[in-house]
Amino acid sequence: MSILIIGASVAGIRTAQALRMQGYKDAITVVGEEVHQPYDKPPLSKEMLLPDGTDQPVPLLSEAELEALDIQMHLGTRAVALDADARVVTTDNGTTFPFDDLVIATGVTPRTLPGADALTGIHTLRNAEDAVALRAGLTSAQDVVVIGAGFIGAEFASAARAYSTRVTIIETQQVPLTHVLGAEVGAELARLHEVNGVTVHTGAQFSHFVGEGHVSGVALEDGRVLPADLVVVGIGATPATEWLVSSGLPITNGLECDASLHVLGADRIFAAGDVARWTHGFYGSDLRIEHWTNANEHAGIIAADVMGTSVPQAQVPYVWSDQYGHRIQIVGRPGDGTVAISHGTVESGLVAVYADEAGVVTGALVVDDPRMLMKCRKAVTRRVAVADLDLGLANIPPV
């Protein structure tokens, strides 16, 4: 027997680890497009961007741990085709990899904008090379424009303020993150940028890039041109499934999977991490979640299925973001409800609890308070009614 894992990032490597931990003794082969030894992704938009950051990504495993896994690694190798019937994957150098079981963990590809490839100084932030290039650019940049006020854009803006540079964020929504956190909380997070010297333009539509050879500005639909000698495009990502178009696998905003992460209609083929749209065991609906914790969780589920052991219970989603010295943590799915309790500010320790129409807690955002986050996580997991929730916040009635 053999398992082939396509993708050497968090989901792929954690799956190999989980298999070995559960006693899988047969061959494991990992094929990864990047040339680096497997590394962690969160530091790319955090520590690696700071003035004292390193050009070396943070490894997922030590050399000793990687050797102990006893896996065959093929780095700098991109999968280009899958023949599910013949059970073989073909790579860009013509090598073919047969398999008994296959785990697809190819992640996502960042979205970009028209004209970005024609000018230097315009970046996305997805891999170690991106982080290294951006840190180098920040040392001399005067005007930085971030397109998109999601967490990647926000974390980059935060890091950029550690340099002597002007930073501007442009966002299409009238209030950033409204679709995820609601207008009230979104406005509070936008204010965090402003109090740290970042200009935020909301309701702003991108038109085109300006420059000859190197970017010099970002033009908006209303006619304004924002000066820019460094631009980061942070407008989300799409599942990296292009190489699977001819495979016959079901693809709709990611690979369609069941609750055990089997790709639907495919024998012993799994998907893990950002590329998987799966029937989430807690919610009972199809979700594709681009969180670091989600990739780790998938590893244990796949390993348990392969080994025939008890499948771990699906966890409620969790994500964190470090901005301007504050840790912003989100648990559950705030967008499934509206703000029911709101207390504090981002500077003093914001707590926002969300509940659905039935009054059941669906999610929470907490700033700089790990204990409060744990209380909220328990409330989401146990589906507690917001009326029964005791967070120890004196005299704070539900909104």
Tell me the helices (H) and strands (E) count for the chain, helix number first. Answer: 7, 26
Quote the pLDDT of residue 317. Answer: 96
- From the list 54, 216, 59, 58, the residue with the least C-alpha distance to 135 is 54
Quote the pLDDT of residue 392. Answer: 81
> Which has the higher per-residue pLDDT, 25 or 392?
25
Residues 6+ away with beta carbon under 8 Å from 72: 27, 28, 29, 30
Residue carrying the six token digits 């680890």? 17
Quote the pLDDT of residue 394. Answer: 54
Quote the pLDDT of residue 397. Answer: 47
Across the chain, mean pLDDT equals 95
Mean pLDDT over 33-54 rounds to 93
- How do residues 151-162 score in pLDDT, each as one tens digit? 999 999 999 999
On the question of pLDDT at 227 being above 70, the answer is yes
For residues 374, 149, 271 and 42, what is the CA-based torsion angle, rounded to 10 degrees? Answer: -60
- How do residues 239-276 score in pLDDT, each as one tens digit? 999 999 999 999 999 999 999 999 999 999 999 999 99
CA atoms within 13 A on the CB side of 145: 23
On the question of pLDDT at 396 being above 60, the answer is no
Cβ-based burial of 35 (10 A; exposed 0-12, middle 13-18, buried ≥19) = exposed
- Cβ 259 vs Cβ 282: under 8 Å: no
Mean pLDDT over 164-178 rounds to 96
- How do residues 95-129 score in pLDDT, each as one tens digit? 999 999 999 999 999 999 999 999 999 999 999 99
Quote the pLDDT of residue 360. Answer: 98
CA distance 193 to 350: 15
CA distance 304 to 272: 13
Residue carrying the six token digits 């860009």? 92
